[in-house]
Amino acid sequence: MTRRDSVMVWALLLGLAVPQRSLAQNDPPATPAPQRVVPPGTIGTAAGAAPANIRFDISIADSGVTTPITKTVTVNVSQGGLGSIRSSAKIPGAPVPPPRTVTSQGADGKPQTTTTPSSAPTISLNVDVNQPTIYEDGRIRALVVIEYQPYVPAAMARTPEPAVVRANSMIVFENGKKMMLLQAADPMSDRRTTIEVTATVVR
């Protein structure tokens, strides 16, 4: 055997002695980590965004009980904030309910009677606007709560006192456009109540 043949034999034996990694043992190719999709933030809520105020104009139209009534109230609310209107009045000439009398057992075991005067009947107009949010497309979402009862003089009333209208709605508004919140019918009369709301961003 020549020297060249000896070298080739040694090289072959060395190759057989060293274990070879199979394709199955190779590390799989690295896959890129999935990217987190971040929803677009709302204007004024992301860090560094400028806050804004929103004006809510609430228009209430009532008809069918007396001459048509139209009332408009306005409340300004910062986005993410709260706004409220509370208005109440005593009904002229309405009879005051009798005092409330409650009898209970006192500390000495004897009955004790407590008399509490009743308040005069009132009618209310209450409005709440909760956590309005301005979106990047300019629309505004807010929870609007309204409680309203019209005043009808006793001389003009043909039915018992008109029912209270309550609205509670989470709604999306177009900036500066009037939107009907509700249209309600009194269950005991021909009364119709329509409430419309306009939300406008005030810079």
Question: pLDDT by residue (tens digit) across 122-148?
Answer: 788 999 999 999 998 889 999 999 998
Residue 30 CA: distances (Å) to CA of 24, 33, 36? 15, 9, 18
What is the rounded distance in angstroms from the CA atom of residue 165 to the CA atom of residue 183?
Answer: 10
Q: Which residue in this structure is represented by tokens 């109230």?
A: 73
Domain locations along the chain: 53-92+116-202
Is residue 38 over pLDDT 80? no
Share above pLDDT 90 across residues of the chain, in percent, rounded to a whole number: 32
The residue among 71 and 104 whose pLDDT is bigger is 71
88: number of CA atoms within 13 Å, CB side? 11
10: alpha, beta or left, given left = phi > 0 and alpha = psi -120 to 50?
A: alpha
33 pLDDT band (50/70/90 cuts)? low
What is the rounded distance in angstroms from the CA atom of residue 186 to the CA atom of residue 193?
Answer: 8
Is residue 157 over pLDDT 70? no
**CA 33 to the chain's CA centroid:** 37
Share above pLDDT 70 across residues of the chain, in percent, rounded to a whole number: 66
What is the rounded distance in angstroms from the CA atom of residue 55 to the CA atom of residue 75?
Answer: 6
Is residue 15 over pLDDT 70? no
32 pLDDT band (50/70/90 cuts)? low
SS (HEC) of the chain: CCHHHHHHHHHHHHHHHCCCCCHHHCCCCCCCCCCCCCCCCCECCCCCCCCCEEEEEEEEEEECCCCCEEEEEEEEEECCCEEEEEEEEECCCCCCCCCEEEEEECCCCCEEEEEECCCCCEEEEEEEEEEEEECCCCCEEEEEEEEECCCCCCCCCCCCCCCCEEEEEEEEECCCCEEEEEEEECCCCCCEEEEEEEEEEEC
Is residue 158 over pLDDT 70? no
Highest mean pLDDT among 1-15, 74-88, 177-191: 74-88
22 pLDDT band (50/70/90 cuts)? very low
